[in-house]
Amino acid sequence: MGMTRVLVVGAGAAGSAAATVLAQAAGELEVVVVSAEDRLPYNRTTVNKGLLSGAVDDASIALPGMDLPGVTWRLGERVVHLDPVDRSVRLAGGEQLTADAIVLAVGASPRPVPGLGPAADRILTLRSAADTAQLRAALTPGAAVAIVGAGLIGTETAGVLRQAGHRVVLLDTAAAPMAPLVGPTVAKWILQAHRAAGVDVRVGTTLQTLSEQADQSLSLALSDETQVAAEVVLAALGAAPDTGWLTGIGVLDDAAAGAVNVDDQHRVTGWPGLYAAGDSAAFPGPDGARVRIEHWGAALAQGRKAAHAVLADLGLREPDNAVPPELPSYSTYVHGTKLTILGWPQLATGEVPLLGTPEDERFAVALHDADGRLVAAVGVGGARAVNRITDLLQRRAPVTELASDAAAGR
């Protein structure tokens, strides 16, 4: 009988973390990681930040410790079909691979801008280091760049490009950047921070037509009947799970944007031997509905968790169920000021002040759901006020507990 084989599809954050844990059982199993990108795992969070600005170079973003015992990397190869019953996959070249367990860690792809006609192929996106190289090659000094979508990636990228001396127009249909992630008060603060830094923010508007001029520059016609001229257009409309190839076999959750349905240990629901982690996995969230998190740290943690479940199910290790419930957290910089988001802002329907006001150097808000339970907190200029209510967020405590928390001087 051959050696037990575990297949990991995708060598991003979740796939690399899964492979690292699985390698602890080298000698007892063989691990094959198949990934569409033709390079070993690297830090994707740099793609629109240090790698784009040039603060870090391509060689330095490689993840350390990937020379893993018992792990074979099949890079630059795409999996195109999964048979969940036989636990086998087919690669784009036609090769079939069978395994005792399969970890799906395929991440997500940038959403396209819909219906723009022939010039649409001039729109760039940022997901990989190769995308960064393409964007950097397109940027001339002081280039005019239009970013479509003022979410997290759009906001971060606008800051980096502005800092590098580019003229940046940032468009969004919403009234302020990142509002679904940070609530209205911080979103308004971000809008003002962008404008103070010289980013031309156009809110409440949509890109309707993109046309290429005779000199190769681009013209964007917006729904508010204004025009924007740009040399480079970048779409930052969020990312959807890279799971198109998994449709029709019963592993996807349509309610969670086509992510793979998993339980809290990242086992694919209803399919023994299949696991999923990272941006492409939807797990039971705090209110029972499936959620997915698009954070680097969460993808690493989920990859590890999935790998521990694999080792336990194969009888190679004791189950490792002592993982605390995940409270997503994300920190970023908006024109030099640190922003920290903790919890589940997507569940929020309202906000209350937590610290100071937007006029202060530091301020924070707490976000609550329709039942008045705390679901998230956002800090600007410091994370202490946010971290202080971690326990309340974890318990989804009533918003009224904030007052008693403050009164107790905690």
Ligand X SMILES: Cc1cc2nc3c(=O)[nH]c(=O)nc-3n(C[C@H](O)[C@H](O)[C@H](O)COP(=O)(O)OP(=O)(O)OC[C@H]3O[C@@H](n4cnc5c(N)ncnc54)[C@H](O)[C@@H]3O)c2cc1C
**Interface residue list for ligand X (CB under 6 A):** 9-15, 34-37, 44-45, 47-48, 78-79, 105-107, 126-127, 153, 242, 245, 278-280, 294-297, 299, 330, 332
State the nearest-atom distance from the C-beta of 19 to ligand X, in Å. 11
Q: Choose between 30 and 242: whose C-beta lies nearer to ligand X.
A: 242
Please identify, using beta-carbon distances, which residue of 103 and 355 lies nearer to ligand X.
Answer: 103
Measured at CB, which residue is nearest to ligand X? 12
The whole-angstrom separation of Cα 83 and Cα 251 is: 11
Task: CB nearer to ligand X: give 102 or 389.
Answer: 102
Closest contact distance (angstroms) between CB of 127 and ligand X is 5
Residue 271: CB atoms within 10 A of its CB come to 20
Beta strand spans in 193-307 (E): 200-203, 207-212, 218-222, 227-230, 232-235, 239-241, 252-253, 259-261, 274-276, 281-284, 290-291
| DSSP one-letter code for 140 | P
CB-nearer residue toward ligand X: 97 or 366: 97
Q: Which of 222, 236, 120, 234 is nearest to 168 (CA)?
A: 234
CB of 32 to ligand X, least distance (A): 11
Shorter beta-carbon distance to ligand X: residue 185 or 332 = 332
Least distance CB 205 / ligand X (angstroms): 23
Beta carbons of 253 and 290 less than 8 angstroms apart: yes
Whose Cβ is closer to ligand X: residue 11's or residue 399's?
Answer: 11
Contact 352, 405 (CB under 8 A): no
Minimal distance, residue 386 CB to ligand X, in Å: 15
Q: How far is CA 354 from the centre of its chain?
A: 26
Q: Find the DSSP H helices in 47-168.
A: 50-53, 129-138, 152-163
Closer CB to ligand X, residue 146 or residue 282? Answer: 282
Scanning the structure block, which residue is given the tokens 């001087």?
409
Cβ at position 219, least distance to ligand X in Å: 26
Other CB atoms within 10 A of residue 80 CB: 13
We find the least distance from the C-beta atom of residue 409 to ligand X, in angstroms, to be: 32
**What is the Cα–Cα distance from 99 to 77, expressed in whole angstroms?**
17
